[in-house]
Structure 1
Amino acid sequence: MSTKVEFAVQMTCDSCVKSVKKSLDVPGVSSVDVNLDTNTVVVDSTLRTEEILQKLQSTGRKAVVKGYAGTSAAVCVLEIGSGVVKGVVRFMQVDPNTCIIDGTIDGLNPGKHGLFVNECGDISNGCNNIGECFNPKLIKAGGDERIYGDLGIVAAEEDGRASFRLADCVVKVPEIIGRSLVVTELPTGGNRLACGVIARSSGLFQNPKTICSCDGITIWDEKNSPK
Structure 2
Amino acid sequence: MACALMVFVDGASARAVTETYVATLRATEAGRGASGTVTFVSETNRSNEEVVVITADVRGLTPGKHGINVHENGDVEGCDDAGKCTGGSYNPEKRPHRGPTSLKKFGASACHGRYDGCILNRHIGDLGNIVADENGVSTTTIKDLYTSLKAGEKENIAGRSVVIRAGKDDYETDEDDGNAGPIILYGQIARK
TM-score range relative to shorter protein = 0.5 to 0.7
The answer for the alignment partner of 2:191 in structure 1 is: 200
The answer for the alignment partner of 2:109 in structure 1 is: none
Structure 1 unmatched ranges of 5 or more: 1-5, 7-68, 202-227
Summarize deviations over 1:143-196 as a string: whole Å, max 9, x none. 751221011111111100111112110110132122101000121242100101
2:22 to 59, 66, 75: 75
Identity over aligned pairs, percent: 31
Structure 2 unmatched ranges of 5 or more: 4-15, 104-120, 151-155, 170-177
Q: Is the 8 A contact 1:70 1:92 kept in 2?
A: no
The answer for the alignment partner of 2:131 in structure 1 is: 155
1:183 to 161, 164, 168: 164
The answer for the alignment partner of 1:114 in structure 2 is: 67
Alpha-carbon distance in 2 for matches of 1:86, 1:113: 14
Q: Does 1:91 align with 2:78?
A: no
The answer for the alignment partner of 2:113 in structure 1 is: none
The answer for the alignment partner of 1:209 in structure 2 is: none
May I ask how many residue pairs the two structures share in their alignment? Answer: 135
Report the TM-score, using the length of structure 1 for normalisation: 0.55
What are the within-5 Å matches in structure 2 for residues 6-45 of structure 1?
none
Q: Which runs of 4+ in 1 moved over 6 A?
A: none
2:85 to 113, 124, 129: 129
1:191 partner letter: P
Give the Å deviation of 1:83. 3.2
1:128 partner letter: K
Structure number having the greater helix percentage? 1
Q: Is the 8 A contact 2:65 2:129 kept in 1?
A: yes
User: 2:79 aligns to what SS in structure 1?
Assistant: strand
Report the TM-score, using the length of structure 2 for normalisation: 0.64
